[in-house]
Amino acid sequence: MDLCGLTIHQLRELLTQKAVSAAEVTSAYLQRIQSIDSKLHSYLEVFAKEALKQARDFDEGKRDFNLSPIAGIPIAVKDVLCMRGVRTTCGSRILENYVPPYDGTVIEALRNAGAVFVGKTNLDEFAMGSSTENSAYCQTRNPWDLDRVPGGSSGGSAAAVAANLCAGAIGTDTGGSIRQPASFCGVVGLKPTYGRVSRFGLVAFASSLDQIGPITKDVKDAALLLQILAGYDRRDSTSVQSPVPPYGERLEESIKGLRLGIPREYFVEGMDPEVAEAVEKSIRICGELGAEIIEVSLPHTEYGVAAYYIIAPAEASSNLARYDGVKYGLRTPDCRDLLTMYRTSRSRGFGPEVKRRIMLGTYVLSAGYYDAYYRKASQVRTLIRKDFLEAFQRCDALLTPVSPIPAFKVGEKSEDPLQMYLSDAFTLPASLAGVPGISVPCGFTSQGLPIGLQILGPHFREDLILRIAHQFQQATPECRRTPPLNEDP
């Protein structure tokens, strides 16, 4: 039996029946990581000894997890979430030796549910990127084509799930960093509503945009993980006291009668024709499942990229000011004065993309430019949010592409930041509006590269988009494939 190829819910059933042990499952994953991850570099650190101990504790009944759906299941975590006693680098040299003394709320919830932590996954430095090429430690590769990127910034998490190097993973999404890599790697990625999942213990990039969510092999697993992650947390001032529904209960309900909107602004000139064809086919399938398909408009979509790349760098400039070599993080030795220490520590600690965004953010917040840039971008953000609210008065959910292109080659866009930023044009507006979105596999290009369908819903309606995604996935089993990766002998 190929244990690594099973979903979380399939593994949980085997564990419940005692057909396998958690130690056997964890050992299988650790062996596969050892055999394959040298090709992918999806992990920054693997917790082999600790993971096996957690698995054995579960098998020996040392803790009662009340039949948690992820107890004894190997889960990977993006290395931007604080985990007690474990290095948390954010893919940056400036935090290469930082060891948090506490668990973030999400880690706490997973630990209490009995998850087996197999490792920390690679990412673009401080989650700033769309390709996982900006990590200070290694370049993660796409398991479908090792010459291509896995997307970003949660590229390590998406690649690990796609290559069966964990049963599920946790990522973060600021402007598409869960949905885009999920699309590029052919897995499911869910960005919850802003405020649905606590950000306490998440190292901040852009505080008004960052969200934590699951990356999984199928939609049912995404619902299982979200059930554990979601909920109010008084330690996060942006956490919302909204009831958390049972996400898995309504997955099997038909989508017949739902009104699904197609935003005309998301089907633009220049989109890869194979991506357009796959998404249009997916829309027809949803219609065949009984949904009513209507056209809607999100008129301010074209301003999403510009608004995001003012707001997010401005918040990053503020958040990353704390890394100055004084209290923690990299400190350059033998500096003659405080200013030199600041300058050299930050210059050596941050990579080129992070420096670019810090400078951009500092500029738009500076005296004389705040009103012209940051205030204007915030006003555009309000208009984008209004577009979504008006669209959801006409329809229940929206269907769009995740990205205008499939996974691109390593190095193809790294010298052209604007082209890199434009690859997120279809995910950024939902992040600015704070609405939930999910990427679900919907086809492949002629070169065998995955394509994702994005489903967007009203605020706090993750249950609705999960239901639509699950019904679509059940109707398209051909879209669920495993990359042709062979283990080393």
**Residues marked as catalytic:** 78, 153, 177
Q: Determine how β-strand 74-78 pairs with β-strand 168-173.
A: parallel
Q: Report phi then psi at 484, rounded to 5.
A: -80, 65
Give the Cα separation of 351 and 125 in Å (integer). 7
SS3 letters across the chain: CCHHHCCHHHHHHHHHCCCCCHHHHHHHHHHHHHHHHHHHCCEEEECHHHHHHHHHHHHCCCCCCCCCCCCCCEEEEECCECCCCCCCCCCCHHHCCCCCCCCCHHHHHHHHCCCEEEEEECCCHHHCCCCCCCCCCCCCCECCECCECCCCCCHHHHHHHHCCCCCEEEEEECCCCCHHHHHHHCCEEEECCCCCECCCCECCCCCCCCEEEEEECCHHHHHHHHHHHECCCCCCCCCCCCCCCCCCCCCCCCCCCCEEEEEHHHCCCCCCHHHHHHHHHHHHHHHHCCCEEEEECCCCHHHHHHHHHHHHHHHHHHHHHHCCCCCCCCCCCCCCCHHHHHHHHHHHHCCHHHHHHHHHHHHHHCCCCHHHHHHHHHHHHHHHHHHHHHHHHHCCEEEEECCCCCCCECCCCCCCHHHHHHCCCCCHHHHHHCCCEEEEEEEECCCCCEEEEEEECCCCCHHHHHHHHHHHHHHCHHHCCCCCCCCCC
Cβ count near 2 (within 10 Å): 9
Distance, CA of 215 to CA of 221 (rounded, Å): 9
Tokens of 481: 């494939």
Sequence length of the chain is 489
Q: For residue 184, give the nearest of 451, 473, 455, 476 by alpha carbon.
A: 451
**β-sheet bridge partners, residue 443:** 451
